[in-house]
Structure 1
Amino acid sequence: MASLLKEVPVLYAEIAEEIIAFARTKISSSVSDYIFLSLTDHIYFAVTRYNKGENIHNVLLWEAKKFYKVEYEIGMRALDIIKDKIGIEFSEDEAGFIALHFANAQTEGNEINKTIKITKFVQDILGIIKYHFGLEFDEDSWNYGRLVTHLKFFAQRILSKENMLQDDDYLYDQVQHKYTKAFECVKKIEKYVINGYGASISNAEMVYLVMHINRVTSRNES
């Protein structure tokens, strides 16, 4: 922090502190203390870019709004705080960037790149499910929210290549025959994971995916 404040005015630390205080009223899970450093640094350079006329489009804005709704709400509140403190009015692109910082702070890591990878992974898996079943998700439904949450943790397990779920061959055989269409979809997901990440999926992981996918797709179809 001392090193950071040699380059960044204290005002930006105060802005970050106010945003984090608001975030803690919205996020029930633990938030890494690293967010104070990363957010202070991010806001300072965002303002620096703004003053230079260097506006960066957030290509993950849609994903941030859909997959991290609470964090995006924090990002929008952050824009109000920044405007109130220094008079700069950022677009919602910046709210999306801040949302991803808070999403990252809940994964016990300090690399925003990991959160971006997780977001892309989830987006790709949802795309596979969507086109396999030929449907549009009800993104406000409880089942959709549970699926997205499961996919986030699934992505973390794939990217870290550890903590895979213990196999359950009995349930694997059951869901393979009971939920045929969902199982076919999971086999496509397995192929995507193997080709894209060089990782294998345990039978237990496939069981969870089948059950989540069957639940969300059967509710959509009905």
Structure 2
Amino acid sequence: MIIQKVLNHNAAIVKEGNEEKVALGAGLAFHKKRNDTIDPARIEKLFVLKEKEQDHFTHLLHSIKEEEAEVIRKIVKKAESELNATFNERIYIALFDHIIFTIERVQTGQSSPNYLLPEIKGLYPDEFKVGLWAAEAIEKMTGTSMSEDEAGFIALHLYTARNKHPSVEETMNLTEAIHLMVEVCEESLGVTFPTDTVAYQGLITHLNIAIKTVIQQEDISSTPSEMVQMIKKGYPEVYQSTRAATEALKKEYGLLLPEDENVYISMHIQRILVRIKEEENNHA
């Protein structure tokens, strides 16, 4: 492959046949210049981009610092390895954009609180693990402390980066819908759910599945009537809080969960309340 333009030590525009491509790889363009050849074995990513996308991406690669380009390359490589995923051209650019933006905010001291962090940790644990690794890598490169909030934002982008997953906006909407329902239940019951428990993860996982099922217009199995009555009579306050949450979901997002779902959601919430009570007794 023949170099058409060196973008930085790790990136270059190359020509293969009659086609121009963007090649990425550790040190593949180091001490190289136009018309030099590149060893294909050193190429980690080879992109064919539309003209507008290529102009944007090559400008980014050419304008950012070498260490920034290198840390982003390592983050994406780590993510693909840990998540067993392959990111296509557009996804790679989106991740590149987001991480550059994250680095800029960190370096200028701009904080961005992530109120969806508990849901992100519970719904996307693998992506969050990589997000923490990415935050640590950026912290080492910039010398500036990175919070879990930033790791959570990166995790959201990594989740949507997997093939066949929804857009970042759709993922955010789903996570925000879950957050809304949890908030309504907490307010109704006058408690704060402990987010680091198996019971809480069970709740948000169930909400995630239930809401997705409604969005995709799939059938949800009906609940035996005796179970519905048992939950209504046994845990009336919990059941009412769940109904308030499903009403909020309908009002805010236009999504209607079947009333049967209130039973299962209530069961998850009751598990959380039992957990809270146990902790209170242990510290009494």
Corresponding residue for residue 87 of structure 2: 33
Cα deviation for residue 147 of structure 1 reads 1.0
Corresponding residue for residue 216 of structure 1: 272
Cα deviation for residue 14 of structure 1 reads 5.4
CA distance in 2, matches of 1:129, 1:21: 40
SS in 1 for 2:222: coil
Gaps (5+ residues) in structure 2? Answer: 1-46, 279-284
What TM-score, normalized by structure 1, do the two folds share? 0.75
Asked if residue 7 in structure 1 is aligned to residue 63 in structure 2, the reply is no
Structure 1 residues 216 and 122: CA distance shift in structure 2, 3 A: same
Structure 1 residues 193 and 110: CA distance shift in structure 2, 3 A: closer
Structure 1 residues 36 and 204: CA distance shift in structure 2, 3 A: farther
How many residue pairs were aligned?
214
What whole-Å deviation, never above 9, does each CA across 1:140-180 have from its counterpart, x for those lacking one? 2211111122223334345x252241323423344333332
Cα deviation for residue 207 of structure 1 reads 2.4
CA distance in 2, matches of 1:152, 1:68: 11
Q: Is the 8 A contact 2:213 2:219 kept in 1?
A: yes
Q: Is the 8 A contact 2:120 2:152 kept in 1?
A: no
Asked if residue 63 in structure 1 is aligned to residue 116 in structure 2, the reply is yes
Give the CA RMSD over aligned residues: 3.3
Asked if residue 163 in structure 1 is aligned to residue 215 in structure 2, the reply is no
Structure 1 residues 46 and 145: CA distance shift in structure 2, 3 A: closer
Equivalent in 194, 203, 206 of residue 138 of structure 1? 194
Which structure carries more strand by proportion? 2
What TM-score, normalized by structure 2, do the two folds share? 0.61
Structure 1 residues 139 and 82: CA distance shift in structure 2, 3 A: closer
Structure 1 residues 8 and 110: CA distance shift in structure 2, 3 A: farther
Asked if residue 199 in structure 1 is aligned to residue 255 in structure 2, the reply is yes
Map of 1:93-172 to 2, 5 A cutoff?
93-105=149-161, 108-158=164-214, 160=215, 162-170=217-225, 171-172=227-228
What amino acid maps onto 1:116 in structure 2? M
What whole-Å deviation, never above 9, does each CA across 1:66-109 have from its counterpart, x for those lacking one? 2223444422321332355x646464253332122124346943
Percent identity, please.
22
Structure 1 residues 31 and 184: CA distance shift in structure 2, 3 A: farther
Which structure carries more helix by proportion? 1
Cα deviation for residue 188 of structure 1 reads 0.9
SS in 2 for 1:165: coil
Q: Is the 8 A contact 2:222 2:260 kept in 1?
A: yes
CA distance in 2, matches of 1:106, 1:218: 37
Structure 1 residues 134 and 201: CA distance shift in structure 2, 3 A: same
Max radius of gyration: which structure?
2
CA distance in 2, matches of 1:156, 1:56: 34
Map of 1:15-94 to 2, 5 A cutoff?
15-23=71-79, 33=87, 35-47=91-103, 53=108, 56-59=110-113, 61-64=114-117, 66-69=118-121, 70=125, 71-83=127-139, 87=142, 89=144, 91-92=146-147, 93-94=149-150
CA distance in 1, matches of 2:87, 2:69: 13
Q: Is the 8 A contact 1:100 1:112 kept in 2?
A: yes
Corresponding residue for residue 24 of structure 2: none
What whole-Å deviation, never above 9, does each CA across 1:47-72 have from its counterpart, x for those lacking one? 46677x5x65424x2422x2223444
CA distance in 2, matches of 1:136, 1:115: 24
